[in-house]
Structure 1
Amino acid sequence: MKAGSNLATKSFRSTARRALVRSSVARSIPVQHRIIRSYGQDHSSTAEKETIAKLLYNIGSRKEVEQYLRHFSSVESQKFAVIKVGGAVLTDELDTLASALTFLNRVGLYPIVLHGAGPQLNQLLEEANVEPQYNEGIRITDAKTLEIARKVFQQENIKLVEALERHGTRARPIPGGVFVADYLDRDKYGYVGKIKSVNKNVIESAIRAGTLPILTSLAETPDGQILNVNADVAAAELATVLEPLKIVFLNEKNGLYHGVTGKKIDVINLDEEYEDLLKEPWVRYGTKLKIKECKELLDRLPRSSSVAIISAGHLHKELFTDSGAGTLIRRGHKLFKYDSLEKVDADKMRNILEAEDPTIKSGKTSVASYLHYLRDKKVNIYTDEPGQVLAVVTQDPSNPGAPAVLEKFVTNKTAALNNVPDNLWTNIKKDHPALSWEITKEEEDGNLDKSWHFERADGSLRNSHTGKTLFFYGIEGAEKVKKTFDGFSGKRSFSTMVQRRAYTTSARKNVGLIGARGYTGRELINLIDQHPNLNLTHVSSRELEGKALEGYTKDKLTYVNLKPEDIKDHDHVDAWVLALPNGVCHPFVRQIEQDVKDGKQREKSLVDLSADYRFEDTWTYGLPEFNREKLAGATRIANPGCYATGAQMSIKPLLPFLASSPTVFGVSGYSGAGTKPSNKNDPAFLKDNIVPYALTGHIHEREVSSQLGHPIHFIPHVAPWFQGIALTVNIPLNKSMSSRDVKDVFSEFYQNEKLVKIIEGEPPLVRDNAGKHSVSIGGFGVQADGKRAVICTTIDNLLKGAATQAVQNLNLSLGFDEYAGIPTQ
């Protein structure tokens, strides 16, 4: 998420919450099309595939999504996922479930769906005056109950199939013929079965025909007697036969919850946690039973299989991101820590290094020389049971106060896919409150890409000459950070030769501003004046040429009128900000790129505040809260529009729940109309007035629709105040939600975002947010039927809508702390 050539300090979201919001979609679509075409039937148009690709990248990082798609495509279709759907989901979330399954099928995946019908059965039994009977938690099924059960299972099976077909997804109802069973105990339970075998031919036939198999949990004896089987048990038996990558249990709570803290449990690693977990006093009743059942199931399956307990609305996120959204239960591996080299299995360590370490694979050094290097070090060595992941942490005995150094962190693909590195990392952080480490360019494209490291770091330093990036966490204070990174320049390499690495630790970068006359330019100058790492070296304005720049205290500057051909004469500038009207900056960009190509100047970071490059695939869209990975080290950044920033932040958390196109009613202060005189920035004309304009086809409408991968409607207005925007956003929902549900979605989505404020109670007001660098989101009104939400958002069009966001983008591009120079309180 951060790169460039200097210090960057940033605290990111926890791994368990990551990946909802990241990606530069457009650049990745061609790659995604190739992936989609490799997956079975191509039953959607090119336009539909583009939409699907965008949606995929909106739920996870490009690395995650492509990794999972490739992994899923490497197995037989019937081994993708078994999804058990509770009866309550069919009643309350049918359309959401059908939409999620359709989404998976559109990329060529064939989940096997098995559903229950418990609540529906109880209702029909009540209507028939049949009181449900249970023995040891098992429903006693007499002849009347079985008759009603058979009827309700068929009804619910057809209901789900029809819902899928309304979404354009072919599905095959399979109410029976899959499970062969004997009586569990006829005298005790009646017509309840114990599954003896699974006829997977029926399932495979449906998948070969290009249809989703929709199963019930009814079984049959060899002589044809129908028996009732618990749906969870049936799903487990099905998984045992098919050995899928994922077994998903859908529930309306979206996971398991801690009995003391009340927080959702994100991940359970059974090999590490199972015994201790069962000793917890709150692990009892249904929670204890579910964990035990998952343990028994996963013990029979390959270690790559996992169980997810999640809601229907988060299904695709669970399947396409490392962290998922509900509760992920997996076997994992036992992890080990050693405090000396002699205690480690040398062959296990050698195998993982030879297979996965870039410096050893390339021949730059050998395993023997690296082990020799570690011999006299104070080390902690971390690995897992099968030797698929390895971490080496060293400490300088002569300087116990210095942060530890992560010398190695290597993993194979299987371990990465199963999140074993995350488990290992948790142990490392427990042992080492402060840590620094580096990765090479080769490691950036490995099984743990650069984003993985950024998300675990408080800051980073990039060397643009060598392509190496240094990371740290837990190091407080600028001097300690600088000292830590200065120390890397004398660090010994892992070879028998002593080498010195020359890292530059310059704490400042030079910025030139082209188009400094406007309101946004003024705000940028103020922010750079307070920035600890940026110097303003040029302010260009045709109208103000020759006049002294006022309000900038770091240096005395005079406005100049730079032409495109003049840029090459200022090679000491590290970044140019183009604060020009739409359609004006192309000559500057073309000239800079030609000069770089001709060797007349080095590569520069360009941040364009106009709309000229917001639709260009070769430029990175600069909305950091959604796109940090791509912005790290990016040299071509298109700053979003002010309205577009507020609109996307108002809609994106609810993107999985959209039923149709949202409508954005926006009102801006007249500074948004710029300095060129018009009715839209004339206070006399605007007095006691609100003026609508560009009623259809506004460029921000296209911008937001393009970035979200979903059409929106936008109606802009201008009002008599100077700065600040109010957005009232109408969002049709595909499931019933409460105001609290909607508010919780936003709170989770934006947790730890320093420039996003979630407002309780009354909607946010323009006057309260004018002059602030953050976005305020509130209102969270919901229609009585729960199918329409209204979100109210305020944003300062000159700050977070323009200048503040430009500084965020400069920081990420140049490798500084994302919020450096930005007041966050």
Structure 2
Amino acid sequence: MSAVSAAAVRAASRSSRLVGSTQSSRARLVRPALTIASRSQRRQYASHEPQQLSTRSTVVQLLSNIGSKREVQQYLSHFTSVSSQQFAVIKVGGAILTEHLQTLSSALAFLNHVGLYPIVVHGAGPQLNKILEDSGVEPQFEEGIRITDPKTLGIARALFLEENLRLVEELERLGIRARPINSGVFTADYLDKDKWNLVGKITSVDKKPIEAAIQAGCLPILTSMAESSSGQILNVNADVAAGELARAIQPLKIVYLSEKGGLFNGDTKEKISAINLDEEYDDLMSQWWVRHGTRLKIKEMKDLLMDLPRTSSVAIIHPADLQKELFTDSGAGTLIRRGNKLKEVLIREREGLDARAVVDRYVTDLQGKPFKAYYDEPMEALAIVMPPAEGTQLAHLATLTITRQGWLTNVADNIFASIRKDFPKLMWTVKEDDENLTWFFDKADGSFSKDGEVLFWYGLETTNEVQELMVEFNKHGREMFGGINLESKLQKAARAAANLASSAARSAGLSQARAYSTSTRTPRRPQVTQPSTQSRRTYATTTNPNPPLGSKNSSNDKPSRVAIIGARGYTGKALIDLINRHPNLDLRHVSSRELAGQKLQGYNKRDITYENLSVEEVRQKAENGDVDCWVMALPNGVCKPFVDAIDQTGKDQVVIDLSADYRFDSGWTYGLPELVDRSAIARAKRISNPGCYATAAQLGIAPLLEHLGGQPTVFGVSGYSGAGTKPSPKNDVSNLTDNLIPYSLTDHIHEREITAQLGTPIAFIPHVAVWFQGIHHTINIPLAKEMSSRDIRNVYQDRYAGEKLLKVIGEAPLVKQISGRHGVEMGGFAVHSSGKRVVVCATIDNLLKGAATQCLQNMNLALGYGEYEGIPLD
């Protein structure tokens, strides 16, 4: 049985003949041992094909370092199967040109040295925004499209020419000939002159300048400017220009270079490796995290691919990983393609199915033997699964046959995904020398290796199930699994099916079809092996129950407008500083009665003046959709009228309350990401931010909840910033000097909050001290059983493994080490001599992780950004 790992159709390129490279001053590329000839030697190289082939061979050898030689040769052959201009269209954003120019140029040089000629289309949006802002002109957008007046167009035109020349010169420096193409390709009409002014809608694409550049041995480097039929220059979005160019060129690959390197699953925080639109589009678009820019991007990709051959695909990738994306099965970015929609046929004692002739022959051969067949419309791949025998739950994948084209187009993964939906428990065997053995390891939960054979399985839930499977395989070989005789009942049918599939494939003109059936041998030295950890493509809708934490990946790359109500306090100022750092948050309104009319200090993205927004003004702004996220930074008991006003509009806006007003409201989501389901926060529109004391106390107790032997007691001491800005004895430095002030010694609201969230009674005793910011908790926890300090520390380390803002240390943490930092530290773990009581210490900055930082975590999750975006991580 055989298949290939999750490859997508890999972009095609030019014919195998190489055009000469250049330059006598030898410039070294990113990867070692590869030198590039100079421009002065170009003509000489053009007449020496063997030397060019040697260069190509060297690059292929280097590419083999990122994947198997088989993968590299396979994709390279695929790329060179079409004309040069049909290899790939690569869209380069302005941020890539600014931050990753050398990486981009080196990647393009690699492609050129194996004879590939990608067509590059670039934008310069971020650079244009900066120039305009430096000139005192605020960029104007309508429905996400830049309004382009003559002055803006003039600046954009000059900027695009400059950026185009920078990329061309960098390529030439590496010995790669490149041709700037700044006009003559895109013809456009006005998109809507009254609305967007000098913005164009492309009506036609002239390929001749591109073809001429490639015929001359140059990489074509295009700007996204267009001209009207009367010669007026018009601004066109670079993504749109790349899409229209792809429709005209019909390339195998469309590549969008991105700093993030792909799209990300909002539940697992993992990069989405592959999206097969035919199989996944509807399900994907129903996901809660597919919204804003991500939703638009996926829809645009689908519309584009529907206009292209099924062999075309879109890749979203960081330039540093371009070679890995193009030349390996696993890829590196997000691959989007139409896929082959699988036609599933259930055959049980039936004949005459109206598929292909091979299906009828299967029915004839397997009559009376229930099985399920999976195949795609062109019969590039076919799988046969024998359902579980009576009294068992384990199905058997008897045959998988797939052509080379099926390997390249990801059909094998699609089929296996369909099988997995239908059969939760499956086994199969593969010969040890199968060239695609790692693919099967990737699909399995476990394996059992014997002389010449590997038994794979998934879905077995207990050790006993695995042991029984291996024992049966070891004892009986071909006679196993509830009395089923593989030789008489499965193997004959499987081999017959495989033979029939092969002959049918040959008759249908499917060359290089490979068919394998399962078999067993008498075991000698069994060996249990673990599934391979080799990287592979994963699907957008796959859910990981234990997602990696701390991802900076996001499903939204569009700015979100933020308003802060009550920003005079310390927390409001800390939050403003964090928003100022955030790449995608745009602070629009800051409301404070005392500071109304004054200019906001410490925010650099735009000039903002404090307002004193009334409840009605907040309602109107919510009604108009002026704000995406409202932050209530008001004292307890004050924010309800504002929240009610926003609720009345029924608009889809996020509200985060920093007070205690809604921490006990079941209609609000409690925003402590380290202890609350992050997906719940991400779906929430009303989020109550936990208290500072409560955050550190819950984190300090939670790992030991199942070991509690009594009520925990929290002795907490805060700096005086926790008492707010309104003068009181608790924030009077002279009163606090040489002093420690206890307050609210019972029934403090944080005591009720911690108790409610942990689900167990706790005692909380707060104090205030003379330092400005930072909290120290000394937490006494009775234990239900004897435990050692080391045992307890291990419990905490296991519970918080991977959390970016939690640090478990050995000694008791100190306030001065946490002040000004964005996380929580916990340690001490001193166990009483009885072994039945432990003291845990926890520290937190009450203004940051205790308030503003945690608020930003919740904002990021709810707005679709990476959870830690904009948060400095130590």
| TM-score bin, normalised by smaller chain | 0.5 to 0.7
Q: Aligned residue for 2:333?
A: 326
Q: In the superposition, relative to structure 1, how do residues 343 and 276 fare at CA in structure 2: closer, same or farther (>3 Å)? A: farther
Q: In the superposition, relative to structure 1, how do residues 102 and 189 fare at CA in structure 2: closer, same or farther (>3 Å)? A: same
2:201 counterpart SS class: strand
- From 438, 447, 460, the counterpart of 1:459: 447
Q: Aligned residue for 2:596?
A: none
1:75 maps to 2:82: yes
Q: Distance in 2 between matches of 1:204 and 1:86?
A: 23
1:437 maps to 2:428: yes
Q: Distance in 2 between matches of 1:232 and 1:316?
A: 21
Q: Distance in 1 between matches of 2:495 and 2:96?
A: 64
How is 1:175-574 mapped onto 2 (pairs within 5 angstroms)? 175-341=182-348, 346=353, 348-350=355-357, 368=361, 370-401=362-393, 403-439=394-430, 444=434, 449-457=436-444, 458-459=446-447, 461=449, 471-474=456-459, 476-484=465-473, 486-488=476-478, 490-492=486-488, 493-494=491-492, 503-507=521-525
Q: Distance in 1 between matches of 2:350 and 2:248?
A: 40
Tell me if the contact between 1:42 and 1:108 (Cα under 8 Å) persists in the aligned partners. no
- From 127, 138, 162, the counterpart of 2:134: 127
1:422 counterpart SS class: helix
Q: In the superposition, relative to structure 1, how do residues 626 and 174 fare at CA in structure 2: closer, same or farther (>3 Å)? A: same
Residues 195-233 of structure 1 deviation map (CA, whole Å, 9 limit, x = unaligned): 111111111111111111110100011222111101000
The percentage of aligned residue pairs carrying the same residue is 50
Tell me if the contact between 2:94 and 2:124 (Cα under 8 Å) persists in the aligned partners. yes
Q: In the superposition, relative to structure 1, how do residues 164 and 456 fare at CA in structure 2: closer, same or farther (>3 Å)? A: same
Tell me if the contact between 2:149 and 2:198 (Cα under 8 Å) persists in the aligned partners. yes
Q: In the superposition, relative to structure 1, how do residues 157 and 330 fare at CA in structure 2: closer, same or farther (>3 Å)? A: same
Q: Distance in 2 between matches of 1:70 and 1:41?
A: 17
2:65 counterpart SS class: helix
**What's the TM-score, normalizing by structure 2?**
0.49
Q: In the superposition, relative to structure 1, how do residues 472 and 496 fare at CA in structure 2: closer, same or farther (>3 Å)? A: closer
User: Based on CA coordinates, which of the two structures has the bigger radius of gyration?
Assistant: 2
- From 154, 169, 186, the counterpart of 2:161: 154
Amino acid at match of 2:163: E
Q: Aligned residue for 1:615?
A: none
Q: In the superposition, relative to structure 1, how do residues 501 and 380 fare at CA in structure 2: closer, same or farther (>3 Å)? A: closer
Moved more, 169-178 or 373-382: 373-382
Q: In the superposition, relative to structure 1, how do residues 73 and 435 fare at CA in structure 2: closer, same or farther (>3 Å)? A: same
Q: In the superposition, relative to structure 1, how do residues 315 and 343 fare at CA in structure 2: closer, same or farther (>3 Å)? A: farther
**What's the TM-score, normalizing by structure 1?**
0.52
Q: Distance in 2 between matches of 1:38 and 1:382?
A: 36
Moved more, 419-428 or 224-233: 419-428
Q: Aligned residue for 2:16?
A: 38
2:169 counterpart SS class: helix
TM-superposed deviation, 1:450: 4.0
2:18 counterpart SS class: coil
TM-superposed deviation, 1:314: 0.9
Amino acid at match of 1:488: R
- From 168, 176, 183, the counterpart of 1:169: 176
Q: In the superposition, relative to structure 1, how do residues 313 and 230 fare at CA in structure 2: closer, same or farther (>3 Å)? A: same
Q: In the superposition, relative to structure 1, how do residues 337 and 533 fare at CA in structure 2: closer, same or farther (>3 Å)? A: closer
Tell me if the contact between 2:339 and 2:409 (Cα under 8 Å) persists in the aligned partners. yes
Q: Distance in 2 between matches of 1:236 and 1:138?
A: 16
Q: Runs of 5+ in structure 1 lacking a partner?
A: 3-13, 19-34, 354-366, 509-531, 535-623, 629-756, 762-825
Runs of 4+ in 1 over 6 A off after TM superposition: 14-18, 342-345, 495-502, 624-628, 757-761
Q: Distance in 2 between matches of 1:267 and 1:83?
A: 18
Amino acid at match of 2:370: K
Q: Distance in 2 between matches of 1:452 and 1:430?
A: 18
Residues 566-610 of structure 1 deviation map (CA, whole Å, 9 limit, x = unaligned): xxxxxxxxxxxxxxxxxxxxxxxxxxxxxxxxxxxxxxxxxxxxx
2:203 counterpart SS class: strand
Tell me if the contact between 1:338 and 1:344 (Cα under 8 Å) persists in the aligned partners. no
Amino acid at match of 2:366: L
Q: In the superposition, relative to structure 1, how do residues 430 and 151 fare at CA in structure 2: closer, same or farther (>3 Å)? A: same
Q: Distance in 1 between matches of 2:182 and 2:518?
A: 70
TM-superposed deviation, 1:373: 4.0
Tell me if the contact between 1:113 and 1:215 (Cα under 8 Å) persists in the aligned partners. yes
Residues 695-750 of structure 1 deviation map (CA, whole Å, 9 limit, x = unaligned): xxxxxxxxxxxxxxxxxxxxxxxxxxxxxxxxxxxxxxxxxxxxxxxxxxxxxxxx
Q: Distance in 2 between matches of 1:171 and 1:497?
A: 54
Q: Distance in 2 between matches of 1:454 and 1:496?
A: 21
Q: Distance in 1 between matches of 2:148 and 2:802?
A: 51
Amino acid at match of 1:491: E
Tell me if the contact between 2:256 and 2:314 (Cα under 8 Å) persists in the aligned partners. yes
1:90 counterpart SS class: helix
Q: In the superposition, relative to structure 1, how do residues 265 and 500 fare at CA in structure 2: closer, same or farther (>3 Å)? A: closer
Q: Distance in 1 between matches of 2:153 and 2:351?
A: 59
Q: In the superposition, relative to structure 1, how do residues 495 and 175 fare at CA in structure 2: closer, same or farther (>3 Å)? A: same
2:117 counterpart SS class: coil
TM-superposed deviation, 1:312: 0.9
Moved more, 471-480 or 425-434: 471-480
Q: Distance in 1 between matches of 2:127 and 2:347?
A: 61
Which one scores higher on RCO, CA 8 angstroms, separation ≥ 6?
A: 1
How is 1:708-787 mapped onto 2 (pairs within 5 angstroms)? none
Q: In the superposition, relative to structure 1, how do residues 333 and 135 fare at CA in structure 2: closer, same or farther (>3 Å)? A: same
TM-superposed deviation, 1:494: 3.1
Q: In the superposition, relative to structure 1, how do residues 500 and 138 fare at CA in structure 2: closer, same or farther (>3 Å)? A: closer
1:409 counterpart SS class: strand
Q: Distance in 2 between matches of 1:415 and 1:497?
A: 20
1:323 counterpart SS class: coil
Q: In the superposition, relative to structure 1, how do residues 101 and 344 fare at CA in structure 2: closer, same or farther (>3 Å)? A: farther
Tell me if the contact between 1:389 and 1:415 (Cα under 8 Å) persists in the aligned partners. yes
Q: In the superposition, relative to structure 1, how do residues 342 and 194 fare at CA in structure 2: closer, same or farther (>3 Å)? A: farther
Q: Distance in 1 between matches of 2:304 and 2:165?
A: 29
How many residue pairs get aligned? The number is: 471
Q: In the superposition, relative to structure 1, how do residues 495 and 82 fare at CA in structure 2: closer, same or farther (>3 Å)? A: same
Tell me if the contact between 1:180 and 1:195 (Cα under 8 Å) persists in the aligned partners. yes
Q: Distance in 2 between matches of 1:279 and 1:474?
A: 27
Residues 751-803 of structure 1 deviation map (CA, whole Å, 9 limit, x = unaligned): xxxxxx99999xxxxxxxxxxxxxxxxxxxxxxxxxxxxxxxxxxxxxxxxxx
Q: Distance in 1 between matches of 2:340 and 2:518?
A: 38
Amino acid at match of 2:16: S
Tell me if the contact between 1:436 and 1:470 (Cα under 8 Å) persists in the aligned partners. yes
